[in-house]
Amino acid sequence: MQLTDQTIHQLAQRLASGEITSVELTEAFLQRIEMTNQEINSYISICPDEALVDAAAADKRLAEGTGELLTGIPLALKDIFNSEGLRTTCGSKILDNYIAPYDATVVAKLKQRGAVILGKLNMDEFAMGSSNENSAAGPVRNPWDNGRVPGGSSGGSAAAVASRQAVATLGTDTGGSIRQPASHCGVVGLKPTYGRVSRYGVIAYASSLYQVGPVGRDVEDCAIMLGSVAGYDPADSTSVNTPVPDYRATMKDGITGKKIGLPKEYFIDGLDPAVKHAIDAAIESYKALGAEIVEVSLPHTDYAVACYYLIATAEASSNLARYDGVRFGVRKDEGEGLIGMYQRTRAAGFGDEVKRRIMLGTYALSSGYYDAYYLKAQKVRTLIRQDFLDAFEQVDLLLTPVAPTPAFKIGEKVDDPLQMYLSDIFTIPVNLAGTCGLSLPCGISREGLPIGLQLIGKPFAESEILQAAWAFENATDWNGRFPELAAD
């Protein structure tokens, strides 16, 4: 097995024993990126010099016996995280020349643990998209079929792990942006409960919806990553001051007697036959593992997509107002006055999808429409959250598909925004409810494309979904499969 094929927990043992060095490991990943990134386009920025300096420092820590699980492990970051001294574009032309002056809290935590940052990963512009086609750096291509999308908006994060261009990555999830790419790329992705991980230093899109989370090779790697970045942060007013469990300590406890709910609204007629077959097989696997399967109802599911695209776009309109060409980022000034400079900067800097969402959000917040749209959407959101809380009175966790179909072809939905938005129909409600969800591999389509199942937990019950995910992963053989790239 190649160094680049291994997990955090496997590599951490080899680093701790002195069998390999972090410099050796980092060089292997940098070489892998050089060989494969032209095909996949996962990375927007690569920082080999900085990575090798950090790797040498990690080797020193390991030699002194002060290393941690992540010390010397090569990781990569979605290009939405401020990283001191590194170009941070958020996949947008408007931030093309922006060099972050400080580290996001999660980046600082990874560095404190001795992780090696390889670079910044491609994404849908400002995290707005379900396919990673809305990037100023060009689309990311799915490693399993480079004519298909990897999912979005954290498409680069999932594709980099699947391509073995990083051991694990961090992404953000606003309406499925970690879980859906994880499903499409055959890796594990976790969206934590809102408030579990600090968002300080993360470039904002829809502030009441998104969370930072890990993408990894297996469930244990996601548990390690989450444990490393979770926790209270006074710099983030939405951060919740609640203890962070040892996720690995309970991960292997089994799920005998656990009640798993199947929301009837998620098992719809439009579900792709391959997805339905894979999810049905996963349900049988859970029965064999000793779980009790119970049908439940989330009655307001039908309103989730409309509710989300009112709240998210309204918050986008507010958050993106700061991009004016004055304080940071690209400026298009041809001497036509302040308003002309604003107009030229935003017209040239923002892509079509970002402009669409800003206009939708501005309309929803405008005088005379606020109550009819934004306020009503917030009321519906409360009903959706209550649906989940009611369901969790009956069951320990929920099992659903991640996406209605496997990865679709590049360009297939780009001219039909509504069809694109429906790609997140099964993931959006989790963000509206503010609870946690995880995607892990559960099947392969006839075309050889990965299919993921979604486990949804109670608020701050990441331990329970990791436990259920680990049990399934180790009872089946869907995990640990790698796509073949041209460079292979």
- Asked if 153 is an active-site residue, the reply is yes
| Of 245, 192, 251, nearest in space to 218 by CA | 251
| Of 329, 310, 409, 306, nearest in space to 126 by CA | 329
Residue with tokens 């299919």: 451
Is residue 129 left, alpha or beta, with left meaning phi > 0 and alpha meaning psi from -120 to 50?
Answer: left
Q: How does DSSP assign 165-234, residue by residue?
A: SSSEEEEEESSSTTHHHHHHHTSEEEEPPTTSB--TTBPPSSTTT-EEEEEESSHHHHHHHHHHHBS--T
How far apart, in whole angstroms, are the C-alpha atoms of residue 488 and residue 481? 14
Please tell me what DSSP assigns to residue 375: I
Residue with tokens 């679709």: 408
**How many C-alpha atoms does 16 have within 13 Å on its Cβ side?**
12
- Asked if 198 is an active-site residue, the reply is no
- Asked if 177 is an active-site residue, the reply is yes
- SS3 of 331-373: the string is CCCCCCHHHHHHHHHHHHHCCHHHHHHHHHHHHHHCCCCCHHH
Residue type, 294: V
Residue type, 286: Y
* Residue 335: how many other CB atoms lie within 10 Å: 6
Burial (0-12, 13-18, 19+ Cβ within 10 Å), 236 = middle
Catalytic residue (one of 154, 177, 423, 445) = 177
How far apart, in whole angstroms, are the C-alpha atoms of residue 195 and residue 211? 8
Catalytic residue (one of 42, 78, 135, 154) = 78
Catalytic residue (one of 45, 153, 163, 183) = 153
Please tell me what DSSP assigns to residue 407: P
Burial (0-12, 13-18, 19+ Cβ within 10 Å), 106 = buried
Burial (0-12, 13-18, 19+ Cβ within 10 Å), 242 = middle
Q: Which residue numbers are catalytic?
A: 78, 153, 177
